[in-house]
Every structure is written in C-alpha cells, then in structure tokens.
Amino acid sequence: MTRRQRLAATLRGEPTDRTPFCLWMHSTVHERTVERFTRFTLDFYRAYEPDFAKVMYDEAYDLPVNYEYVSELKVWRLLEEFDPEVGGFGRQLEALRRVRGQLDPEVPVIQTVYSPFHVARRLAGRRILEDWDREPEAVRYGLNIIAANYRRFAERCLREAVADGFFFAPQGCEASWMSEGQYRDMVEPSDRSVLETLRQAPVLILHIHGEKDTYFDLLSTYPCDAISWEDRLAGPSIAAARRRTSRCLMGGIDHYAARTASAEEVLRQAQDALEQAGGQGFILAPGCTFFNDTPVENLKALRAAVC
C-alpha cells in the first residue's frame, strides 16, 4: 500500500499492510524563514519517513501595530481580521506550498492548526481567564476574530496549497485550566467554528492537548477522523479509549520519557501500544511533539516497531 492508501484505510478502520506511524518536532529559531522551515520539514520527513508529513510552522500570531501580546483587556477588541496571504499566515502558506510541491504525491501532507483559545493563551497567558471573568464578551470577540482568520487560512491551505488535511490542536481542555463547563462556554464555540472549515478536508486529526485530567469524552464528540492525545500521561489508555470511541486512535509513545529512555524502552512502549490497539484503526505516534533533544535512535524506534 502507498502511504496515502494506508492512512485512508486506517482512518476508516479497515485492514492495512502495516500500522501507520507518525512523528513530529517543533522547529527552532534557526528555522523561521520560509526557506529554512521548508528545508527543516523536508529533512525531518526524509530522515524518518513517517506515513504523513505534519507541517507546523511556529509563527507568532499577528497582532495590531504597537502590541506584542494581549497585555490589557481592551486588546481583545482590537484584534483584526486579515488576509491569510500576508504576515505570519502568508509565510505558513508559502512553506506549505513548497513542502507539498517537493514531496511525492502519495505522501499525505497535514497542516497543523491551533485552536483559537490555544492562540489566545499564547497571546495572554493565564490573564485570559481573568479577562473572561471581567468582560467575557471582549474575550469572546477576540476568539471569534482568531477563528475567522483560521477559517480563511484553512480554506487557502486546501484550495491553493493542496493540503491533504489538518491536525487541529485545542488547548485549555484540562482541569488545570478550567472546568469542563467553562470550557463548553468559553472555548468550544470557537473550536467548532474552525472545525466547520477543517472538516472540508479529506483528513482531520484532533489533538487533545493536556497531561492530566483532560476532557477526553467532551472533545471526542468533535468532528474528526482520528483522535490524538497524551495517552501515557493524561489517559485514558489506548485500550480504554477503544471502548469509549469508535474513531481511529493515535498515540502510544510518552514523548517526555523518550528524551531519556533507551531505544529499546521506546520500542517496548510502541509494541505495547500496538497490542492495546488491536490491529486496526490506530496510528503509532507520540502523545505530543517530540522534544528537540530526543535521541535519534528513539525516534527511529517508531518505524522499527511497525516496519
């Protein structure tokens, strides 16, 4: 099977010639131009040859002139809708076009899209919760503007950069940030707004970000083809998740432990994940991004487990 065929069959829960795997790593300050990021992404893909290329250009979200962060309540209402072909989104799109153009057509290319709250948290930190308590409509306005910009960005990813799908990464969906009820009120509406556009893609992977007490059952109701989560840290286990959702599952490797574990330990963890998954509808992957100091041998253990 080709990588494209293997991924499509896996997302449908059908038998495949082997279990697909994926891994990814954030770029650094050294890879922030379009040219360098494209090279970084292609080099990383070619070094490990996963079943799809995950693109996540770590650009800062563009704010109005004179603001680097949402440093006070009024800034939420100053956020602007913009053309995704300019600024940080424009550089992401250009990098995505180049990555897609230089990989074999049978390699699916999946663009990472952060949730509006994920972006807002980067802009304001925990003060976003204080702002919500003081003036929820101001924060809601900001989240809606971010969502509108991501919808336009996603449309360009599909129409012009020919992305095969999206990896949608919500944040805040854990007890250390807010209650489940507050997540439903504050965050879920903007999540679903973006997901309406992302669902137009052939592939939509939902990543539940969090290391403890995440709202797995809530987010598993989101429209998606596969669910990625930190199963080794936050739970539920792969076996337990299999009983709670019929969707394709993605995970199995503790990305924190992989920094110091031996390659043999990572391989054993991968083999355990494959056994829990039961043979179909599963993508072997880290629970979240591998850190830049993870040994190469540990990254290669994922491929060794399935090939």
| pLDDT (0 to 100) of residue 59 | 84
Give the angle 85-86-87 at the CA atoms, nearest 5°: 135
pTM of the model: 0.97
Report which of 237, 245, 212, 297 is spatially closest to residue 23, judged by C-alpha positions. 297
* Per-residue pLDDT tens over the stretch 210-227: 999 999 999 999 999 999
pLDDT at 234 over 90: yes
User: What separation in angstroms does the CA of 70 have from each of 78, 145, 288?
Assistant: 10, 14, 26
Sequence ranges of the domains in the chain: 3-306
* Per-residue pLDDT tens over the stretch 144-156: 999 999 999 999 9
| pLDDT (0 to 100) of residue 223 | 98
Confidence of residue 2 (pLDDT cuts 50, 70, 90): very high
Q: Show the tokens assigned to 283.
A: 């993508």
Kindly state the helix (H) or strand (E) to which residue 87 belongs, with its residue range: helix 87-102
* Per-residue pLDDT tens over the stretch 160-181: 999 999 999 999 999 999 999 9
* Per-residue pLDDT tens over the stretch 112-142: 999 999 999 999 999 999 999 999 999 999 9
State how far the Cα of 153 lies from the Cα of 83, in Å rounded to an integer: 8
Judge contact between 145 and 88, C-beta under 8 A.
no
CATH architecture of 3-306: Alpha-Beta Barrel (3.20)
Residues comprising the chain, all counted: 307
Task: Give the 3-state secondary structure percentages of the chain, helix then strand then coil, rounded to 5.
Answer: 50, 15, 40
State how far the Cα of 225 lies from the Cα of 14, in Å rounded to an integer: 13
Task: Return mean pLDDT, the chain.
Answer: 97
